[in-house]
Amino acid sequence: MNAESTDSGTTGGVYPTVAEWKAIVAEFQEPSAARAIWQLVNTLCPYAFLWYLIHRFLDVSWWAVVPTAALAGVLLVRIFIIFHDCGHGSFFKARWANDLVGFLTGLLTFTPYYHWRWEHALHHATTGDLDRRGVGDVWTMTVQEYLESSRWRRFAYKLARNPVVLFVIAPFFLFVVAQRFPKGRADARERHSVWYMNLAILGFVLALGWIFGPVRYLVVQSIVIGVAGAVGVWMFYVQHQFEDAYWERHEDWDFTVAALQGSSF
- Residues 71, 51: Cα–Cα separation, whole Å: 10
- Residues 153, 160: Cα–Cα separation, whole Å: 10
Question: How many residues appear in the chain?
Answer: 265
Which pTM does this prediction carry? 0.87
**Residue 91 resides in a domain:** yes
- Residues 14, 194: Cα–Cα separation, whole Å: 44
pLDDT value for 90: 92
Q: What's the angle, vertex CA 128, arms to CA 125 and CA 133, rounded to 5? A: 75
Q: What are phi and psi of 73, to 5 degrees?
A: -65, -40
pLDDT value for 4: 39
**Residue 11 resides in a domain:** no
Which parts of the chain sit beneath pLDDT 70? 1-15
Q: Distance between terminal CA atoms of the chain?
A: 16
- Residues 245, 130: Cα–Cα separation, whole Å: 12
- Residues 260, 115: Cα–Cα separation, whole Å: 25
**Residue 6 resides in a domain:** no
**Residue 186 resides in a domain:** yes
Whether 127 and 248 have beta carbons less than 8 Å apart is answered as: no
For the segment 60-109, what is each residue's pLDDT rounded down to a tens digit?
Answer: 999 999 999 999 999 999 999 999 999 999 999 999 999 999 999 999 99
**Residue 15 resides in a domain:** no
pLDDT value for 19: 80
The count of structural domains within the chain is 1
Q: Tell me the residue range of the domain where 244 lies.
A: 31-261
**Residue 155 resides in a domain:** yes
Whether 80 and 232 have beta carbons less than 8 Å apart is answered as: yes
- Residues 47, 45: Cα–Cα separation, whole Å: 5
**Residue 19 resides in a domain:** no
pLDDT value for 243: 84
**Residue 125 resides in a domain:** yes
- Residues 25, 16: Cα–Cα separation, whole Å: 12
